[in-house]
């Protein structure tokens, strides 16, 4: 039986673990600090890139994404500190667990697509033109929607 170590206490995988006040504060402060520091670096890289530096080496996008994933990075780091490898494995094992029927996942993905389409239709109705979709391929957008849902 795998266990998750938290605060010096082993709890079974079916037990809900709640964070203590100080643990929650630590998580939010570290997440806030990491996100904003990384985003500031991304902004500085973007400003430097727009001043005539070679566009092929623009790292502002990937660095910005590092800030987007800061909550997950901080959660993994704090879990590793408290629970070691076993704690990280237990945390990551929850990603693949389906606790609801597949229909709800289909509904969630469809809901995201419906909202985005509704916003595009409102934009079309108000401005008379479709919103700019950028240069991102449809395959990447569909994949990102499925992963984010």
Gap between the Cα atoms of 114 and 11, Å rounded: 40
Read off the pLDDT of residues 102-120 as tens digits, 9 standing for 90 and up.
899 889 888 988 998 999 9
Are both 117 and 89 inside the same structural domain?
A: no
Q: Does residue 24 sit in the same domain as residue 91?
A: yes
Point out which residues pair with 5 in neighbouring strands.
10
Residues 59 and 79 both lie in one domain: yes
**Confidence at residue 137, expressed as pLDDT on a 0 to 100 scale:** 76
Whole-number Å distance between alpha carbons of 60 and 63: 5
Number of domains in the chain: 2
Q: Is the pLDDT of residue 15 over 60?
A: no
- Domain encompassing residue 1: 1-97
Whether residue 133 sits in one domain with residue 71: no
pTM of the model: 0.57
Q: Are residues 20 and 61 in the same domain?
A: yes
3-state helix vs strand vs coil in the chain, percent to 5: 70, 5, 25
Do 93 and 115 lie in one domain? The reply is: no
């Amino acid at each position: 039986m795998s266990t998750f170590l938290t605060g010096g206490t082993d709890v079974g995988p079916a037990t809900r673990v709640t964070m203590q006040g100080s643990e929650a504060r630590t998580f939010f402060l570290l997440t806030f600090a990491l996100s904003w520091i990384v985003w500031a670096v991304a902004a500085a890289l973007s400003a430097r890139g727009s001043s005539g530096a070679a566009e092929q080496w623009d790292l502002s996008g990937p660095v910005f994404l590092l800030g987007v994933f800061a909550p997950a990075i901080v959660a993994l780091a704090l879990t590793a500190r408290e629970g070691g490898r076993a704690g990280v494995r237990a945390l990551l094992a929850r990603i693949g667990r389906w606790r609801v029927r597949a229909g709800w996942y289909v509904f969630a993905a469809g809901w995201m697509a419906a909202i985005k389409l509704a916003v595009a239709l409102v934009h079309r109705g108000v401005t008379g033109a479709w919103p700019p979709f950028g240069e991102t391929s449809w395959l990447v957008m569909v994949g990102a929607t499925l992963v984010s849902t």
